[in-house]
Structure 1
Amino acid sequence: MEIPQYIDSKKLYDEFVIVYSRVSSAQQDIQKQILLAEAYVNNHNYKKESVIWLKDNDVSANKLSMDERPALQELRILLKQGLIKTIIVYSRDRLARNFYEYVSLVKEFYQYDANVIFTSTKQPPFSKKLSIEALYGIFAQTEGQSISGRRSDTNKQYPSNIFGYKKLGRKKDTKYVPDDNIQKELKTFLLSVKKVDNAESLFAILLTYKKILKNKKYDDLLRYLQNPFYSGHMETLYGYEQLRHVEPIISLDDFQNNQLKLKKLKNEIFDAITLASSHGIIIPHCSICKKEMTFRTSELGKSSYYVCKKKHQEFMIPVNVYNDLISNHLNEVVGSISIEKLKGDLLAYLRHLQTEQQQNLIVINRKLHKIHKEMTENYSAQSNAKLDKLVQSSRRIKENIKEIHIIIIKIEEARKGINDHIRMIKVNMIVEMQGFDLYYLCHLFFSKIEVSNNSLIYHVTFGRYFEKGDLDELRA
């Protein structure tokens, strides 16, 4: 009997049922969602082998997008393969807290003809009208924002840790009292802004208290000045609300006067802090000793800089100059890379992976065929225990086959994705790259950057793909 190359996973069962569950923190219990789903599965007599259980545990839909939630991504992959007819989930907000993400998911459910079952009694049935589901999506987003707002309000009233205070008692009896070890210096700092007339005088205050207040960062000091907690209040939509469990260090009037001054100087403050404390996109190395250089913050209004740990003092470079040089040179490096060489290697590797998985399918299908043959030819002679063992082996192999099919689909999608990216890069590579984070791009293309007395030496990750030859080092 000829063994087929593979078993089509679509034919293993009439339909697959996905049970998706999600909780946003480790403290929440996901079991409630699972128990309700189990009851639905049992009441509707689904075959256990056809039910796939997916869980996003400790995954916040407020903080993470759809693409960052592993189980939801697996659900979408199975959906696009046409394997899912039913999705069981506790409620709409388990799928998404964002209106646009929820609508996008619903469109995928419609496209692949999947029915959605909500096990929560408070959830209206899934509608085939997008306008209705979109409305429910708005409710899910509003509730998510409400939860996020409540957490923020709680943290404003009862922070777990705040500089300059000691937290006493628990729960409703919690009180915050100033820390005697730092209270005097902190109060003087918070009140010193009253004397500020311009950005330079504020810079001088921040520089002075950066050392006094345990060498805090400029950003930290600015947050202290903007936090009404130090006046025994919290900010709400309706103004400032008194926190009676907090002993204030300054008055509310002094705090509000500080905000008026900071508001006038905010752009200058932000630019100065950024300049004085910004790090290099990549940590530079000294071209003599090959060691990482040391970062130094500077006075406000001046650029931070790097110096050699071994005191090669001639090798000092300001961060703003260093980052500008890297950013400008990145375009030159990327423009020198041969897209066709890179594409060829990537496609060859993906073909290798695909062939490897297809060969794996052949081997596994032979095992499955052997088990099925043994089950049918010796059925009457086999004990129940042995037959059960063969059935279990068959199920494990079928599950393995399904997983391999998913891998093959992902590889094929990756191959298509490469073509899309190559096409985009060919049209307008440099322009498109401006939307990406320079930090990740530079770490991708530069393995190391060395500083000499008159140049930067770039060690390029993709040197072999350069149009001009197999270079791994450039000077600029």
Structure 2
Amino acid sequence: MHNTRKAQNKLKVFFRRVSTTSQDLIMQESADEMYRSQYSANEILIMTENGVSAKKLDMNKRPQMKKLVSLVMKNQVEIIYAFDRTRLFRDFYESNFFVSLCKTHNVSIVYTSPGNGQQATDSTIFEGVMNIVSDIEGENIARRVQEARLRYPPKKLGFIKDKEMRTYSKDPEKEKSLHSYFEEIKQITNQTELERNLTVYKKKLGTSKERLLKLIQDPFYAAYDISNGEHPLSHVEPYLSFDEFKEIQAGTCGAVIESYLEMEKSLKKLNTYDIRCGLCSVPMTYRYDILGKKSWYMCSRGHTKILIETETLSISVEQTLERILESLNIEPLIRDSRNFFKIYKQFTSQELGLLEKEKKALLERIILETEDLNKWKESPEYNKLIQIEQKHQQHLIKFEKVREQAEENKELVNLLRDYLSTCKLNSTDFLASLLIKNIRAYPDELNIEVSKFDYLTEMKYEFMLMGDQLL
């Protein structure tokens, strides 16, 4: 994309980026040297991103890119030089936005890489296709790195790595315990036995229960890589055969481990409250019992042990939220209804953006996996694409209804109250973070302090749980 019309006193920006701090910019600097020589020093602005991933970080988290966008919008840039498309963006949508922005403000983009096959154009469609290719290229690089780490990890519990020979032999200090661990784990028939086994070998191997569970599901210990097919690893001395490994995964033991991990995942999700000890003001520690299927918060830092079960805490928070919603004062809330509509609009925009990304990913898979593109609608992914499009339309229809209701403030207020009530049912932790200021636990009571705001009338701002009663 090259604009032949010269702009007076506008910046010539040389944008460089490396993904990790271990990389250097020499190649990019060398490639843009011939272009820099055309301008005087006061015309040039060099912008550098060190250790910044354009794949993992969005534009708002890249200070240099935010600054560049701002300069373009202020019509202070004539031309941008970058090594290739991937130095600017790896995200399809952000790249399209940037190309459109540059086109609107008559900013040229030049790629300095000698091997760059195609210079920038004014076509957002073409640039979109090129950036999809860049996305795929970046994903392929990440995939290859991941595959290499699976076959040649930096270190593994129970192995000694020979860096020169790139081989993995059993660690004599761990070998006996690991062999026993695998032998005993094959005999597991229930979660109680699994818990007992993990407790014993956590101490013997000097590791965590989480790591022991991952170890069971790691084919590296059978000298195999199964990330893409079944590939034996001749450079690894195995602790068990591949058949034994598959037997563990498919048998009773595998089912027990899976249910154990699911329960642990569910209990970890319950850790959503910021609760502090009423005696020492320190955040309370979250604990859970997988076998007992329960969790709690506790503190015993130099004082009487304080413990409150998560179930009791959740009930108390829900009762408090109910009282808050019952005390909402409609009249002052009406005045701010338009602001709440803006929040809803932003939320809808984010949802639509996520659906657009899903559509893009499906389209990519369809294009890459369909041999005859004339039959792309026959792809199994096509039905998913239809479903996402339907969700997209449903969001638009719902948003239009909300917009119509916003014309009458009272209608919007009612919608907001319904939303808050729904939020209480579906996302109590989120609503609690907005409406509850502090939660403190004492030996015999729980104190909940409500955030003060203008829309509550005849509302107590502090509640205490005494036994089963919220006072």
For the aligned pair, the TM-score class normalised by the smaller chain equals 0.5 to 0.7
Query: Residue 463 of structure 1: SS of its match in structure 2?
Result: coil
Partner of 2:211: 220
Query: Residue 160 of structure 1: SS of its match in structure 2?
Result: coil
Partner of 1:463: 452
Partner of 1:115: 108
Q: Which amino acid aligns with 2:41?
A: K
| Partner Cα distance (2:28, 2:421) in 1 | 46
Partner of 2:154: 160
Matched, 1:30 2:25: yes
18-27 vs 175-184, which moves further: 175-184
| Partner Cα distance (2:335, 2:26) in 1 | 51
| Partner Cα distance (2:124, 2:294) in 1 | 53
Query: Residue 257 of structure 1: SS of its match in structure 2?
Result: helix
Question: For each residue in 1:412-466, what CA deviation from the matched residue of structure 2 results, as whole angstroms up to 9, or x when unmatched?
Answer: xxxxxxxxxxxxx9664648979x9988886676564211356532345x53656
Partner of 2:60: 67
Q: Is the 8 A contact 1:464 1:471 kept in 2?
A: no
Matched, 1:237 2:228: yes
Partner of 2:44: 51
1:40 Cα deviation after fit: 0.8
| Partner Cα distance (1:13, 1:329) in 2 | 63
Write out aligned runs for 1:268-287 (5 A).
268-275=259-266, 280-287=271-278
| Partner Cα distance (1:30, 1:162) in 2 | 33
The 1:289–1:90 alpha-carbon spacing in structure 2 relative to 1, beyond 3 Å, is closer
Q: Is the 8 A contact 1:281 1:438 kept in 2?
A: no
Aligned residue pair count = 382
Question: For each residue in 1:21-62, what CA deviation from the matched residue of structure 2 results, as whole angstroms up to 9, or x when unmatched?
Answer: 11001111123213433421323x3x4323322211101123
Q: Is the 8 A contact 2:189 2:256 kept in 1?
A: no
| Partner Cα distance (2:54, 2:274) in 1 | 34
| Partner Cα distance (2:276, 2:454) in 1 | 24
| Partner Cα distance (2:428, 2:88) in 1 | 32
| Partner Cα distance (2:34, 2:461) in 1 | 61
175-184 vs 275-284, which moves further: 275-284
Partner of 2:144: 150
| Partner Cα distance (1:250, 1:78) in 2 | 60
Query: Residue 120 of structure 1: SS of its match in structure 2?
Result: coil
**Among candidates 232, 242, 248, match of residue 252 of structure 1:** 242
**Among candidates 11, 16, 21, match of residue 16 of structure 1:** 11
Q: Which amino acid aligns with 2:28?
A: Q
1:119 Cα deviation after fit: 0.5
Question: For each residue in 1:202-255, what CA deviation from the matched residue of structure 2 results, as whole angstroms up to 9, or x when unmatched?
Answer: 4444454444443513x322211111111122223222x222222111111111
Query: Residue 173 of structure 1: SS of its match in structure 2?
Result: coil
| Partner Cα distance (2:134, 2:322) in 1 | 43
Q: Is the 8 A contact 1:24 1:57 kept in 2?
A: yes
| Partner Cα distance (1:331, 1:213) in 2 | 49
| Partner Cα distance (1:37, 1:78) in 2 | 20
Partner of 1:95: 88
Percent sequence identity over aligned pairs: 23
Write out aligned runs for 1:397-412 (5 A).
none
Q: Is the 8 A contact 1:272 1:301 kept in 2?
A: no
Query: Residue 448 of structure 2: SS of its match in structure 1?
Result: strand
Matched, 1:39 2:39: no
1:110 Cα deviation after fit: 2.8
The gaps in structure 2 that reach 5 residues or longer are 1-6, 338-411, 465-469
The 1:473–1:78 alpha-carbon spacing in structure 2 relative to 1, beyond 3 Å, is farther
1:341 Cα deviation after fit: 10
Q: Is the 8 A contact 2:260 2:290 kept in 1?
A: no
1:145 Cα deviation after fit: 0.7
Q: Compare CA radii of gyration and give the structure with the larger one.
A: 1
Query: Residue 186 of structure 2: SS of its match in structure 1?
Result: helix
1:322 Cα deviation after fit: 3.5
The 1:58–1:471 alpha-carbon spacing in structure 2 relative to 1, beyond 3 Å, is farther
- TM-score, L = length of structure 2: 0.68
Question: For each residue in 1:156-207, what CA deviation from the matched residue of structure 2 results, as whole angstroms up to 9, or x when unmatched?
Answer: 1222222222223x2x413322222222222222333322345554444445
Q: Which has the higher contact order (CA 8 A, sep 6+)?
A: 1
Q: Is the 8 A contact 1:285 1:293 kept in 2?
A: yes
| Partner Cα distance (1:459, 1:94) in 2 | 49
| Partner Cα distance (1:440, 1:283) in 2 | 12
Partner of 1:193: 185
Partner of 1:449: 439
The gaps in structure 1 that reach 5 residues or longer are 1-11, 344-424
Q: Which amino acid aligns with 2:242?
A: L
Question: For each residue in 1:128-149, what CA deviation from the matched residue of structure 2 results, as whole angstroms up to 9, or x when unmatched?
Answer: 1122111211221111011101
Q: Which amino acid aligns with 1:25?
A: T
The 1:446–1:215 alpha-carbon spacing in structure 2 relative to 1, beyond 3 Å, is farther
32-41 vs 129-138, which moves further: 32-41
1:308 Cα deviation after fit: 2.8
Q: Is the 8 A contact 1:166 1:176 kept in 2?
A: yes
Q: Which amino acid aligns with 1:269?
A: Y
1:120 Cα deviation after fit: 0.8
| Partner Cα distance (2:75, 2:333) in 1 | 34
Query: Residue 306 of structure 1: SS of its match in structure 2?
Result: strand
Q: Is the 8 A contact 1:464 1:470 kept in 2?
A: no
The 1:71–1:194 alpha-carbon spacing in structure 2 relative to 1, beyond 3 Å, is same
Matched, 1:293 2:287: no
RMSD: 4.1
The 1:66–1:246 alpha-carbon spacing in structure 2 relative to 1, beyond 3 Å, is same
Write out aligned runs for 1:126-141 (5 A).
126-141=120-135
Query: Residue 294 of structure 2: SS of its match in structure 1?
Result: coil
Q: Which amino acid aligns with 2:145?
A: R
| Partner Cα distance (1:342, 1:89) in 2 | 46
Query: Residue 60 of structure 1: SS of its match in structure 2?
Result: coil
